[in-house]
């Protein structure tokens, strides 16, 4: 027991000297920032605006936004929803937890897109909701790792 504790202290000390310490709450922060809630989105967005403060977490902030799809389809601002979706995909892939989290990440993406649509009314709202549904289902079907099989989710009656 003492030997194991001493070994872990040595690893922590070496990591501290080299600056390679990633905070232990990284998984919790990642999960919080990828929740399908406005609070999750807002926390991620605030951190994205101040990435330097989170640099020790070594998150992958890269994004191609909406990949090959428009970031502003029919004028709807989906760019940030796509960026957060990329953030979740990239960071869960990095820790080999992508498959276990993909469904939740896609649902968060859909929630973000639907929140964008709340700014509209009438026919614009209907068009936005339809576009959000289309983007969400494209992520479900095509948003996967090259070594993962494409497995669409069964219909979800809760939407």
On whether residue 133 sits in a domain, the answer given is: yes
28 three-class SS: helix
Q: What is the torsion angle, in degrees rounded to the nearest 10, for the CA atoms of residue 74, residue 134, residue 158 and residue 115?
A: -30
- Number of domains the chain contains: 1
Residue 97 confidence (pLDDT) above 80: yes
Q: What is the average pLDDT value for the chain, to the nearest integer?
A: 85
On whether residue 116 sits in a domain, the answer given is: yes
Model-level pTM greater than 0.85?
A: no
On whether residue 75 sits in a domain, the answer given is: yes
113 in Cβ contact with 81 (< 8 Å) = yes
Would residue 85 show up in a list of annotated catalytic residues for this protein?
A: yes
pLDDT score at 20: 58
pLDDT score at 92: 96
SS3 content of the chain, % helix, strand, coil (to 5): 65, 0, 35
On whether residue 31 sits in a domain, the answer given is: yes
On whether residue 10 sits in a domain, the answer given is: no
- Residue numbers of the domain that contains 106: 23-142
DSSP character at residue 52: G
Side-chain half-sphere CA neighbours of 113 within 13 A? 29
The CATH number assigned to the domain holding 108 equals: 1.20.90.10
On whether residue 97 sits in a domain, the answer given is: yes
- Residue 114 CA: distances (Å) to CA of 81, 111, 134, 150: 10, 5, 11, 24
On whether residue 11 sits in a domain, the answer given is: no
On whether residue 2 sits in a domain, the answer given is: no
């Amino acid at each position: 027991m003492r030997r194991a504790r001493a070994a872990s202290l040595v690893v922590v000390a070496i990591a501290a000297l080299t600056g390679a310490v990633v905070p232990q709450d990284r998984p919790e922060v990642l999960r919080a920032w990828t929740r399908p809630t406005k609070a999750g989105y807002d926390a991620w967005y605030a951190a994205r605006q101040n990435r330097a403060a989170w640099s020790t977490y070594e998150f992958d902030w890269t994004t191609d936004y909406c990949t090959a799809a428009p970031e502003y389809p029919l004028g709807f601002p989906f760019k940030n929803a796509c960026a957060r979706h990329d953030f979740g995909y990239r960071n869960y892939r990095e820790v080999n937890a992508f498959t276990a989290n993909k469904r939740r990440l896609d649902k968060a993406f859909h929630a973000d897109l639907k929140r964008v649509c709340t700014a509209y009314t009438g026919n614009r709202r209907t068009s936005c909701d339809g576009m959000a549904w289309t983007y969400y289902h494209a992520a479900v079907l095509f948003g996967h790792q090259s070594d993962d099989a494409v497995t669409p989710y069964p219909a979800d009656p809760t939407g």
